[in-house]
Amino acid sequence: MHMHSLNWLAILAAAISTMILGFLWYSPFLFGKAWAREMGYDLKDKAKMDEMRKSAGPAYAGSFVASLISAFTLALILHGLRAESLHFGLMASFHIWLGFVATVQFTGALFTKQSLKLFAINAAYQLVCYLLMGAVFVLWK
């Protein structure tokens, strides 16, 4: 398998799209309030919120690097599987998420005593990310 045959722009676009999805997913318009509540954050505590905002830069940078690695790895796997149809790309992405991402997150949630709701918010975000990335890779040739 030759890595030069990967679509590097699609990998970058997939990583960026997961970041955009994350901004929406964890915003107050979707699951941000529930996520904050489950994490034990008080959105009315101005000092804590300011502290969180100050540390957001490194977290976003690390998250983007992680998104690039996930996008690259998924692209490599789908390329190796010769995924050419949207259905196959989505099914493979789902099974990769189920077998590797959901199980690791579930184990972590069990040992850190996360609520089922917090696990569901985070795992569902990752599922949508993997499906989105899988779609990008098979549709953008």
Mean pLDDT of the 79-108 span: 97
Mean pLDDT of the 106-130 span: 98
Report the distance separating Cα 127 and Cα 119, nearest Å: 12
For the purposes of burial, counting CB atoms within 10 Å of the CB of 29, is it exposed (0-12), middle (13-18) or buried (19 or more)? Answer: exposed
Give the tokens for residue 28. Answer: 């107050």
- Mean pLDDT, rounded, of the chain: 94
pLDDT, position 42: 85
pLDDT, position 88: 97
Report the distance separating Cα 48 and Cα 114, nearest Å: 21
What digits encode the pLDDT tens for the residues 22-75? 999 999 999 999 999 999 888 888 888 888 888 889 999 999 999 999 999 999
Report the distance separating Cα 35 and Cα 91, nearest Å: 28
Strands of 1-141 (E only): list them: none
pTM to 2 decimal places: 0.92
For residues 5, 76, 83 and 121, what is the CA-based torsion angle, rounded to 10 degrees? -140
User: Is 103 a residue whose pLDDT tops 80?
Assistant: yes
| Single-letter residue type at 122 | N
pLDDT, position 2: 64
Q: Where are the domains of the chain?
A: 3-139
